[in-house]
Structure 1
Amino acid sequence: MEIARSKQPDSVIEVPLSHGRVHALRVATPDLFAVTGSFRTSPAIDRGDLLLQQLVAALATCGSLHHDPFEMADLLESRGAALSIESESQRVTFSAQACSADLPLVVALLAECLREPRFDADDFVTEQARLIAELEYRAAEPTAMVADGLSRALYPPSHPHHQAVLAEQVAHLERFSVDDVRRYHREHFGANDLCIVVVGDIDPWMAAAEFDRHLSSWPPRFVRTHDDDATLPDSKQDLRIAAPGRENFDAALGHRLDIRCDDPDYMALWMANHILGATFDSRLVAAVREEQGLTYSIRSQLTKPCREYDGHWQFNLSSSPDKLEAGLAATRAEIAKFVDLGVSPQELSAKQAQAIGAFQIGLATLYGLSETMLFGAERGWGPGYIRDFAGRIGSVTVEQLNRVIREHLRPAELRTAIAGPFAHV
């Protein structure tokens, strides 16, 4: 398609592609640019498709039908350029950084990797072994242990946030072949809700035209509609995971949320989490760690928001064996207090200013700027997301905030996963 051009912009522009859109911004970084992007997929989680998608993404940068791995590496490294392709739960992301003069070449190579990877059988064996090793390493890390355990307590096996146990994941990976990789790529890699962000010393319309030239004939693939099953697994007991050799305990508490990123109350929910436990001067840190000395660390987070399915509110803490139970009790008490008493106008105003400042600092690099723009583009927040963030946060009122806290934070529904040396308690 022909890309319509107007004068050089001083803000983000959105350029439609044949199958997707480009958000572009010219900034004062002489001779440099960064690209981030993603497209939607629909892996069947309970069949191990997410692991298969990770294999496809890893192999996609191991050469294409037009350039073997050594040729591609030489083309990129000789120019100081880099590109990567990674898997997320329902999307595949890609990124590249290079000198502005090399944008046409980098876009062409990126398109080759996405559309025509070579999928060499020997590379498959290498990446399969590497991914199994990564899973084994993660399964031995206590923070990951409790996060994955909590996911199994909150979501059924078919949900994108469900993390299967290590043995099940390894069994899936060992069953896959390079033919499965090729099939998954053929069926799932396409211009589905394709979002591309390019920032730097570039002509936005020229950049969009390059992407359209290489991706206009890349067809969308079938994307299954996700059934957001709200059914919780049966057990309500705390999940205890043995972590031999550890001296301390890690715990994750959480419950499901029935709100998505396109909900009018989402920014108020984000602000509530920011105040409760997202920063070092949050409520949880001040009360549980600093005042009572019951944890080494404590924080809260919302699962990465999306438009297709719900997530959960999660609270993580690390504690010594003799303070574990007291730390968990104090955490629950502070969460309940947050719900009962809410937030004052003065506290909200101070935290809004803090959040806006942190957001702006995150835009200081090309990578941070492009990642933030992509985050907004994927969620349908439009090309003005980085400009509008301060206004969206500032528009949250104390009445809305306290209502959202009461409606969505439910201490009685918290489930808990704990990892550590249980012989010591």
Structure 2
Amino acid sequence: MMTDIIAEVKAAKTASILLSSVPTSRKDAALDAMANALDAAREDILRANAIDLEKGRRLVDSGEISASMYKRLAIDDSKIDGMIAGIRDVMSLGDPVGEVMSALDLDDGLTLYQIRCPIGMLGVIFESRPDVVPQIMSLCLKSGNGVAFKGGREASESIRTLFAILRDAASSAGIPAESFVLMESRDDINAILGLHDYIDLLIPRGSNDFVRYIQENTRIPVLGHAAGICHVYVDGDADLDMACSVVLDSKIQYPAVCNAAETLLVDSRVAGDFLPRMASLFEEKGVEMRGDPRTLEIISVKEAREEDWDTEYGDLTISIRIVDSIEEAIGFINSHGSHHTDAIVTRDMSRASRFVAGVDSADVFVNASTRFADGFRYGKGAEVGISTNKIHARGPVGMEGLMIYKYVLIGNGQVVRDYAGPGAKGFKHVPSSEIYPFGGE
């Protein structure tokens, strides 16, 4: 089995080179075919997912997967609609392959172009959430990248079904089927981590421990985040009605995901008015609250432990802390957050400006729910993941995170010796008006 998988990944690496030069019209036709195929195969998808849900219940009962992971496993018609919409959004996006990022005349008749191109071969390793398959496959196809998937065993039936539907549809539209590989064996993960000669970028999606394990056990560059510890800070100048709405949505709209709020920070100037109102809303929605000593003086909640400030609950639990200044809030977020998504609620834009400048996170929001940190909501069609890295790509990563660039120099017989040594001619180094001659389909 291991040998077959390595052979498939090698073949996918080769196919990714072919995919990188497939014309836009054919890629869009394949995406259209993929969306139509999902719509036509709803019964098959739901049937496969029902098998996984039944298996998942047993895994939750035995403690092998968490309740939040089980929630991410479920597919319904609405989620299939979202998969289809995501593919069609990717279809509507411009093709990044071959885009001219810059053009510079080094000299007359010697022009240097910076051209966007695919990274090449990706490895995507994820837990639960079978909807990752259409998201990633559509983005990889449009951006000209091959991809090898390794999903969790808890979602094996759903993943296998979705993968087959999508690959067959893409292949029918002229896309090399070898570009996409599904790895299923539990032992295959070690093969994935060791394939640094064939996989150019790894994208892990799952729990903190899972992502950290991937980061620590491979030589392949990793794009991702190890935790989603997100904060909402209610400033002393906040509209408290707005604050209640933003905080509630940030916590309960989908508590199992990485952009849900885990810690609520409240300015001491408004804590007495705000916290009782917020606590009532949380209680109605079944949210467990854990507060610092100052919070406990205002509302009756469980006392927070020190580790709560560094915990991603992924469930209907939130920790609450009272702070005395925006500087204290910023310092706390930078110390205890995961640099994922953090928000301020305030009517004072000068204070919002200080928050935006001071918080070192991939996504910093003003008067908006943390749940907006999402590739689809950002207009990327879908996302390959959310990155807290400070190189290459950051935040919700769409196709731009699957692209790199190459330099193309076009001359007319020039040689370096003409530009070296005493009396040599100098470089012009001016923006070029020359049209890149190799663009278009």
TM-score, normalised by the number of residues in structure 1: 0.21
Max Rg structure: 2
TM-score, normalised by the number of residues in structure 2: 0.20
